[in-house]
């Protein structure tokens, strides 16, 4: 799995950080998503998919395989 984020689309809701703080964080100055781990461990895959699904801006893309 590879994860990418579109910071231009991000609205800073923080749902991704709540779902998987090991993979996502927010910039201090504006709350926009920061990707901490582009290739998360298998134990986080389900949570990363869930974070992408609940992202209100659709800013998270999960690339399987």
- How distant, in Å, are the alpha carbons of 4, 16, 35 from that of 61? 5, 12, 11
Q: Are 48 and 23 in contact (CB under 8 A)?
A: yes
Tell the residue number behind the tokens 């998270």, with chain if given.
Answer: 60
Residue 5 exposed, middle or buried by CB count within 10 Å (0-12, 13-18, 19+): buried
pTM for the complete prediction? Answer: 0.95
Question: What is the tens place of the pLDDT at every residue in 17-63?
Answer: 999 999 999 999 999 999 999 999 999 999 999 999 999 999 999 99
pLDDT of residue 24: 98
């Amino acid at each position: 799995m590879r994860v990418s984020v579109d910071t231009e689309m991000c609205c800073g809701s923080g749902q991704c950080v709540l779902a998987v703080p090991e993979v996502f964080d927010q910039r201090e100055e504006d709350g926009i998503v920061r990707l901490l781990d582009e290739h998360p461990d298998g134990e986080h895959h389900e949570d990363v998919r869930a974070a992408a699904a609940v992202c209100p801006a659709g800013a998270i893309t999960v690339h399987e395989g």
